[in-house]
Amino acid sequence: MNDTHSLMLTYARNSVAFVRGEGTRLWDEEGLEYLDFLAGIGVNNLGHCPPKVTAAIREQAGQLVHTSNLYRIPLQEKLAQRLTATCFADQAFFCNSGAEANEAAIKLTRKTMRDRGHPGRFEIITAFNGFHGRTLATLSATAQEKVQRGFEPLMPGFRYVPFNDPVAVEKAISPYTAGILVEPIQGESGVRIPDDGYLEALRAIADRHGLLLIFDEVQTGMGRTGKFWGHQWSSMTPDIMTVAKGLASGIPMGACLATASVAAHFSPGTHASTFGGNPLACAASLATLETLLDDGVLQKVSELGAYLEHQLQELEKQYKLIKAVRVRGLMAAVELNVPAEEVGAMCLNRRLLLSCQMGTTLRMLPPLTISKEEIEQGVAIIGSVLNDLF
């Protein structure tokens, strides 16, 4: 029985309710088994209930859940060390979501410019169809009408340009510009992969104009694309980077990472989060990193991604209504010539979870621990739906 009347209707939810998960599988209230090609929207990157993470959460929950950031949190120090060792960053700030991580990045950008003697530089250039969150600042950074409509006035300080177009970025720069914020691959708009050289061009523009380069790796981070970070497919590094989704395998956690020279502008008292980086979230995240890096999960993502890409390309040959297949690691999209919603609904009916983006795109973010057999099973379900519908 549905009993949703006490909830705000912010989500167009499917009526299925899951009660248990293991690896790439979920079970609903009736005990029916599903194949999960969405992993909680790129959160459960190690599959459902990965043993090491589950054990770490259980143990930490029995020992100490929360103390606040008024005191040292050794697990947070350890996690920051482990995370910064994977990339350009020297320091981390922990929070609880992707939007909050981006809020921190936006504040850090403004503060850095102010401290460097440029109080008038507060504007951040972002890309159309990007996605940075639902708070007022991050929806103002999100250049999508459907995210912003109804919540005006938007927060000042953002300027939008087409994605994958460095010339447009250069043209948008003014005396007010402080930074450039983009996703290395746009996720919510259907896995939009920029041309090789795009991120390097942004780096060069930022350097030329004294701007900060900020990457939103909330979706592309934590091994999703086959490298630990999405921007590591390129040969450059940003000044600030945000992460969330896969960071703690489903325990809410986000982080803003930065170089030491930028991070130094967050002095004591300038930014804070009550829950951010509490012992429970840190324990879950440390176990996630351990599994991803030490147990060899990350090494297999590229090969599994290539397998998924090949399978989807085979479908593309078979069905003319597939307009494009876009894959980077285990971040994948199938763009159709027809609305995707009915296809997605039919897939769920046949017990495959995926998501519909931008009206015509099916997006897949399966667990990075998925097997080749499971990839075959999922793609076969998509094929059977396309076959029966068209």
Ligand X SMILES: *Cc1c(COP(=O)(O)O)cnc(C)c1O
Which residues form the catalytic set?
131, 216, 245
Pinpoint the alpha helices (H) of 247-320.
260-263, 279-289, 297-318
The least CB distance from residue 243 to ligand X, in Å, is 10
Q: Is 336 helix (H, G, I), strand (E, B) or coil?
A: strand
Q: Which of 24, 84, 97, 355: binder of ligand X (CB under 6 A)? A: 97
Spatial contact of 344 and 355, defined as CB atoms under 8 Å apart: yes
Q: d(Cα 164, Cα 194) in Å, to the nearest integer?
A: 5
Q: Which of 46, 99, 240, 255: binder of ligand X (CB under 6 A)? A: 99
What are the residues whose beta carbons fall under 8 Å from the beta carbon of 261, sequence distance 6 or more? none
Each residue 217-236 as x (binds ligand X by CB under 6 A) or -, in order, gives: -xx-----------------
Q: How many CB atoms lie within 10 A of CB 260?
A: 10
Q: Is the CB of 112 or the CB of 129 nearer to ligand X?
A: 129
Q: d(Cα 290, Cα 56) in Å, to the nearest integer?
A: 11
Which stretch in 31-39, 92-100, 331-339, 367-375 sits in contact with ligand X by CB under 6 A? Answer: 92-100
Which stretch in 27-35, 57-65, 91-99, 331-339 sits in contact with ligand X by CB under 6 A? Answer: 91-99
Parallel, antiparallel or unpaired: strands 18-22 and 25-28: antiparallel
166 binds ligand X (CB under 6 A): no
246 binds ligand X (CB under 6 A): no
Which stretch in 49-57, 98-106, 268-276, 322-330 sits in contact with ligand X by CB under 6 A? Answer: 98-106
| SS3 of the chain: helix, strand, coil, percent, to 5 | 40, 20, 40
Which stretch in 71-79, 214-222, 280-288, 326-334 sits in contact with ligand X by CB under 6 A? Answer: 214-222
- Rounded to 5 degrees, what angle do the CA atoms 287, 290, 296 make? 135
214 binds ligand X (CB under 6 A): no
The least CB distance from residue 177 to ligand X, in Å, is 21
The least CB distance from residue 135 to ligand X, in Å, is 8
The least CB distance from residue 252 to ligand X, in Å, is 8
98 binds ligand X (CB under 6 A): yes
Q: Which of 188, 239, 309, 335: binder of ligand X (CB under 6 A)? A: 188
Q: Is 272 helix (H, G, I), strand (E, B) or coil?
A: coil
Q: d(Cα 374, Cα 68) in Å, to the nearest integer?
A: 41
Spatial contact of 70 and 278, defined as CB atoms under 8 Å apart: no
- What does the binding site for ligand X look like in residue numbers (CB under 6 A)? 97-99, 102, 131-133, 183, 187-188, 216, 218-219, 244-245
